[in-house]
A = this chain, B = another copy of it.
Amino acid sequence: MTVHATAQAYEPRYIRLDANDNVAIVVNDFGLPAQTRFACGLELRNFVPQGHKVALADIPEGAPIRRYNEVIGTAAQPIQAGEWVDEARIRMPTPPELDKLELATAVPAAQAPLEGYTFEGFRNPDGSAGTKNVLAISTSVQCVAGTLQFALKRIKTELLPKYPNVDDVVALTHNYGCGVAITAPLAIVPIRTLQNIARNPNFGGEVMVVGLGCEKLVPERLLPGEAGDSVVRMQDEAFDGFGAIVDAIMKMADERLAVLNRRRRETCPASDLVVGLQCGGSDAFSGVTANPALGFAADLLVRAGASVMFSEVTEVRDAIHLLTRRAINEDVGRALIREMDWYDDYLAKGDADRSANTTPGNKKGGLANIVEKSLGSIVKSGSSPIVDVLSPGERVRRKGMTFAATPASDFICGTLQLASGMTLQVFTTGRGTPYGLAAAPVIKVSTRTELARRWKDLIDFDAGRIATGEATIEETGWDLFRLILDVASGRTKVWSDRWGIHNDLTLFTPGPVT
């Protein structure tokens, strides 16, 4: 992507992403008043808020409105050059038809491999490498959550200090396991998610489960083949009351902490990284600053041999025609379509559609509709071939760029990417969100410098310098790539970990509750 930007910061300034675009977005903080004249001679006819679109030319009613050299809608009324192109002036196009897509017709050529990049990770017996050394305690049912929280407090106070090489203890609590239709076809999604999360590389293979004893999701199903001596069942008749149950959980945790405490960071090639990409609270700058910088960093990761995942079905749906072309082969292209199709049906069953995705915050930030949001969202996947597609909660299988199908919900996407094996997440945000995960570090990237300044103790990386012309996408992408290696190595701590702001796991449970 080539960014055509006018003049300096502080001067009236807009960004046009492609020479064919007939709209551009206003860069200046707090927007620009009517009669503002840009260096190119264009004069604003009304006030245009920051991040919102201005028409660069007259657009007749019904004519296409172009951004990213793609059609984000048609003019709902005649629009004059210099007018604010707000949500009401754009008619949303229909989404690309899934049976008319080109498959693997524009597979990008492989870029030159990047050699010699490493991070300091925790090597696991199965060959994977973690970025943290965490004891995870799984649960087979939500009934045990309160008991585990009680035990967790004691584990953190009484046991964890004995094991200085262990970073943290995390309770994998959730709202599943009973009171659900466990044999319904869609139950596979949350069950697979819980099975796979326990195997995340950051947990070092030391699994344990707290269960109740009468739940539907039996611990044996949660830990196939390994449940033997790794389960504390509260209803076990050997337990004489709550105290005895808590003691049993602590004893099992103590044994596993002792094993994890022997882990040490060692130099691992960057190809051992499994990086998840996500965005939340997007604005019009997401597709101009943070996501392009992340896309550049993602290309660097792919060139270094890492596994990288992007996600969020409802935010790629309207740009799917750009992705199926990029699929490495027709099978991968068809897998992309399969996931889109599944989600179209899922939304329709709930009488919803893709327009449900955009938030008031998105719109306030200048994103008129899901088409514009999607075009800005997929930029973070960079420019390498899409090598694989995962259904929600499946484990990553390949190096390179994978589409891991998830809802766009920050927490569900984060949970599913953890199940897929993600050991570090990069999260771009325009409006700002204090999102964090206990299981893996999250690097929060702001789309605007104003947000990075205001949330100086929440945002880890400022991509807003691209909009003001202080840095290029390439420079910023390299900086972000180096930060990823630093965070993966434990050399730099992200803000959410410094404060301990960690959101709970949130399962994707498309099946009904009983």
Give me the interface of A with B, judged by CB distance under 8 Å.
142-147, 149-150, 173, 175, 178-186, 212-216, 218, 234-235, 237, 239-243, 280-281, 314, 346-347, 349-352, 354, 356-357, 359-362, 364-365, 407-412, 431-436, 454-458, 495-496, 499-504, 506, 508, 510-514
Contact = CB atoms under 8 A, between A and B. Distances in A.
A175 B241 contact: no
A242 B456 CA distance: 8
A146 B502 contact: yes
Nearest to A246: B499
A296 to B, nearest CB: 26
A409 B94 CA distance: 39
Contact of A186 (B149, B150, B351, B362): B351
22 contacts: A143-B410, A143-B433, A143-B434, A143-B435, A147-B501, A150-B500, A173-B504, A184-B350, A184-B351, A185-B351, A214-B362, A214-B432, A234-B434, A235-B361, A235-B432, A240-B456, A241-B457, A346-B512, A349-B349, A350-B511, A354-B514, A508-B513
A147 B501 CA distance: 6
A95 to B, nearest CB: 14
Contact of A514 (B144, B180, B347, B514): B347
Main secondary structure of the interface of A (DSSP, over half): loop
A410 B215 CA distance: 12
Contacts of A146: 434-436, 496, 500-503
Contacts of A496: 146
Per assembly, the copies of the chain total 2
A213 B175 contact: no
Contacts of A431: 212-214, 235
Given A145-B504, A175-B504, 11 more contacts: A146-B501, A175-B411, A186-B350, A213-B431, A214-B359, A214-B431, A235-B361, A352-B514, A356-B512, A407-B513, A409-B514
Contacts of A436: 146
A497 to B, nearest CB: 11
A407 B180 CA distance: 9
A350 B513 CA distance: 9
Nearest to A436: B146
A173 B173 CA distance: 14
Contact of A457 (B179, B181, B234, B243): B243
Nearest to A430: B214
A354 B349 CA distance: 20
Contacts of A243: 457
A496 to B, nearest CB: 7
B454 A512 contact: no
Contact of A145 (B216, B314, B503, B511): B503
Contacts of A240: 454, 456
Contacts of A432: 212-214, 234-235
B514 A356 contact: yes
Nearest to A143: B433
Contact of A434 (B144, B185, B357): B144
A41 B243 CA distance: 44
Nearest to A435: B143
Contacts of A495: 242
Contacts of A144: 434
A457 to B, nearest CB: 5
A361 B215 contact: yes
A178 B458 contact: no
Contacts of A511: 350-352
Contacts of A360: 214-216, 218
Given A143-B434, A214-B364, A239-B454, A349 B150 contact: no
A500 B350 CA distance: 37
Contacts of A408: 179, 514
- Of A185, A186, A352, A410, chain B has the most CB atoms within 10 Å of the CB of A352
A81 B223 CA distance: 42
A233 to B, nearest CB: 11
A498 B183 CA distance: 37
A501 B150 contact: yes
- Of A281, A350, A365, chain B has the most CB atoms within 10 Å of the CB of A350
B234 A514 contact: no
Contacts of A510: 350, 512
Nearest to A507: B175
A448 to B, nearest CB: 12
4 A-B pairs with the lowest CB-CB distances in the bound complex, closest first: A214-B361, A179-B409, A181-B352, A350-B512
A213 B152 CA distance: 32
Contact of A503 (B142, B234, B454, B458): B142
A349 B345 CA distance: 12
A287 to B, nearest CB: 16
Contacts of A178: 359, 409-410
